[in-house]
Homo-oligomer: A and B are copies of this chain.
Amino acid sequence: MAGKDNAPSERTTVRRMAVRGEYEKSTVAEILDEGLIAHVGLSTSSGPIVVPMLYGREGDILYLHGSPASRILREGGNAELCVTVTLLDGIVVARSLMHHSMNYRSVVVIGEAHSVDDLDERARSLDVISEHVIPGRVAGTRPHHEREVKSTLVLSMSINEASAKIRTGPPIDDEEDYELDTWAGVLPLSVSAGTPIADPRLAEGIGIPEHISQWSR
């Protein structure tokens, strides 16, 4: 997040990069699929707001879901959003504080979001979001009730205007600093799952399913 080699995505850059090769398209998709939450920005009359939201990807469509009280869900239909997903891969430890950085992969998706009004699509979009967070969970859970689908807000947007930024590798120090007696390198970071905690109200005899015990990112 520092250094010229890894400039954050800017709206103008994303617009410029809207036409891009299949390679970047697949990179965008991979980063989105590995992330768990997105930070979604909306411009309001009193300034920008950024809220964490759950999401899922189906082809070129991104589905967004959050609290029913969310202003972005309520007002985000037909509004311009910026959806940013960031994966932290490591802390870049340099010989000067100046060249410290993060190794990361991030995607910025911009565009107009639309409310998913068709109930069949909305039910499917909820499955897409669930499968994104916990692959295998939909098959392990009862079907939606119609009233649940009716009362849930989901937004959709195209990922055609998206841009990926990636920083990898060791620190890049000033040449003179390589002689310093200072440790430098990368401290890798990852998201890891702990031991599943059963709901206190879980009935006896229900084992932990594989999609939970084997969950990893």
Contacts from A to B (Cβ < 8 Å): 1-4, 6-12, 15, 36-37, 39-44, 46-54, 65-72, 80-84, 86, 88, 90-91, 93, 95-98, 100, 102, 104, 106, 108, 110, 126-127, 130, 133-134, 137-138, 140-142, 144-145, 148, 152, 170-171, 177-203, 206-209, 212, 215
Distance in angstroms from A10 CB to nearest chain B CB is 5
**Which residues in B have their C-beta under 8 angstroms from that of A127?**
97
**Which residues in B have their C-beta under 8 angstroms from that of A108?**
49-51
Distance in angstroms from A48 CB to nearest chain B CB is 4
Distance in angstroms from A81 CB to nearest chain B CB is 7
Assembly CA distance A98 to B127 (angstroms): 10
Task: Give 23 pairs: A residue, B residue, CB < 8 Å, sorted on A.
Answer: A4-B69, A8-B69, A11-B47, A37-B86, A43-B47, A47-B110, A48-B81, A49-B108, A49-B110, A91-B215, A95-B141, A96-B142, A97-B126, A97-B127, A98-B148, A140-B182, A170-B197, A182-B206, A185-B197, A186-B199, A187-B197, A189-B192, A191-B192
The answer on a CB contact under 8 Å between A39 and B43 is no
The answer on a CB contact under 8 Å between B201 and A37 is no
Query: Which of B102, B110, B187 makes the CB contact (< 8 A) with A37?
Result: B102
Assembly CA distance A49 to B80 (angstroms): 10
The answer on a CB contact under 8 Å between A181 and B197 is no
The answer on a CB contact under 8 Å between A187 and B182 is no
**Which residues in B have their C-beta under 8 angstroms from that of A40?**
50
Which 6 A-B pairs rank lowest in CB-CB distance, beginning with the nearest?
A7-B69, A39-B39, A188-B194, A8-B51, A43-B43, A41-B48
Assembly CA distance A7 to B74 (angstroms): 12
**Which residues in B have their C-beta under 8 angstroms from that of A100?**
130, 133-134, 137
A191 in contact with B69 given A49-B41, A197-B186, A206-B183 (CB within 8 Å): no
Distance in angstroms from A163 CB to nearest chain B CB is 11
The answer on a CB contact under 8 Å between A187 and B198 is no
Assembly CA distance A88 to B161 (angstroms): 27
